[in-house]
Amino acid sequence: MIILLFAFIILFITVLQAFTPKFLKPTEAFGIYVPDQYTLEPTIVRLKKRYTGVVLMSGLIALAGYLFWALTQNPVEETLVLLGVGVQFVTLFISIGYYFIMHVRVKKLKKEQGWLTGKNEVRVVDVQFQQKLHLLPRVMFIIPMIVTVSLIIYTYMKYPEIPDMIPTHWGLSGQPDAFSEKTYFISIALPLMLLVLQGMFLMMSEGMKFSGARINPANKKTSLTQQLAFRKYTSWFALFISVSMTLMFGYFHLQTIHPEIGSAWITFSIPVTFLVAVFLAVAIYAVKVGQSGSRIKVDDSSPSLEDKVAIDEDRYWKGGMFYFNKEDPSIMVEKRFGVGWTLNFAHPVSWIVLIVPLLLIFGITFLL
């Protein structure tokens, strides 16, 4: 069962990374802005296919090697898990490394062919964009946080009944394999960590409201419609993850107060179910929505304007992945490679948003 679980994770990561170029806007290739007239340039099409082939093949070879080793050597559980995680990192490193190779090639191609020569760079702004957004209301993300706070209150009410040794880690078999002596902090550590994660999803939803829209001047209506849809579906996706985490963490926490509700099978199956559900949600989100809603079909399209292109912001994207723009008030921006959002690292608040939750999570984990 453990082998199948890790095989599924490795296969999912491989396929998602390999086909990432297909989920992106046509006007972005390996972190480089591509004007509409060059999106079907043969070299770009060839590089995308090559990236998919290399990443897919290397991932499948790594998966086959892992399965062969696991089935022939009969390793212990700890070694099986350790190598399984290692293979996941290897597939990620291969895809990221090959991405940077493709990034350099597209950047060079853009310069050699002069894609922006003679073009008018314009920025399209919709002053009513925020009013047109259909994001989930803030309260939808606050409700799971209220549930978590209620769990903390309930824990303190039941504190005398909690066992003296509290499980803090569960093995893949579903049995607890690490314990900490009961204290008031240890007893609520899991809900506190959950509260931090829920707060991150709330900030993500709020950040989308104030993130500037990158509207394509060559196809304004389509681009605007896709941008609005992308943020709406991202909001639903974030809520799904937040609620799913609340259910999973909530069960594990209640199990420490009421051990009788737990069993090894349930303890094992809940994280697996959560993992499969999240992976399926990510797959649906990537395939149906795509980055910036690029895979959402729009019937009403505006005519292409051959002499106008979007503002070239390549200089703000370091390696096509990390965004630094002091002039942009947005804290969150859409990724250029991958589906989702990243931070504007030139904005001081972005570092607070990034570092504070990480410090809180690491601090809680360290004190367990």
Span 257-281, pLDDT tens digits = 888 887 778 877 888 889 889 999 9
The 10s digit of each residue's pLDDT in 184-228 is: 888 899 999 999 999 999 998 888 888 888 888 878 888 888 889
Q: Give bridge partners of residue 342 from the DSSP assignment.
A: 333
pLDDT tens string 55-72: 999 999 999 999 999 988
The tens digit of pLDDT for each residue in 5-34 reads: 889 899 999 999 999 999 998 899 999 999
Instruction: Produce one character per residue of 292-327: b if its CB has 16 or more CB atoms within 10 Å, e if not.
Output: bbbbbeeeeeeeeeeebbbeebeebbeebbebebee
Mean per-residue pLDDT, 98-127: 89
For residue 268, the model assigns a pLDDT of: 78
Q: 300, 287, 277, 366: which is closest to 24 by C-alpha?
A: 287
| Confidence label for 174 from pLDDT (cuts 50, 70 and 90) | low
Distance CA 201, CA 235 (A): 9
**8 A C-beta contact, residue 151 and residue 192:** no
Alpha-carbon distances of 348 from 198, 326, 336, rounded to whole Å:
22, 9, 21
DSSP-assigned beta bridge partners for residue 176:
170
pLDDT given for residue 241 in this prediction: 95
Instruction: For residue 309, list its beta bridge partners.
Output: 121
Could you tell me the pLDDT band of residue 294, with boundaries at 50, 70 and 90? confident
Residues in the chain: 368
At residue 243, the pLDDT reads: 95
pLDDT at 304 > cutoff 70: no
pLDDT score of 128: 85
CA dihedral 282, 299, 314, 132 (to 10 degrees): -80
Q: Rounded mean pLDDT of the chain?
A: 88
User: CB of 167 within 8 A of CB of 178?
Assistant: yes
CA–CA distance, 298 with 213 (Å, rounded to integer): 17
Instruction: Average the pLDDT over each of 213-217, 302-306, 318-322 and give the range with the smallest value.
Output: 302-306
| 368 has pLDDT over 80 | no
Looking at residue 62, its pLDDT comes to 94
Answer yes or no: is pLDDT of 302 > 60. Answer: no
Q: Which of 81-85, 94-98, 316-320, 348-352 has the lowest mean pLDDT?
A: 81-85
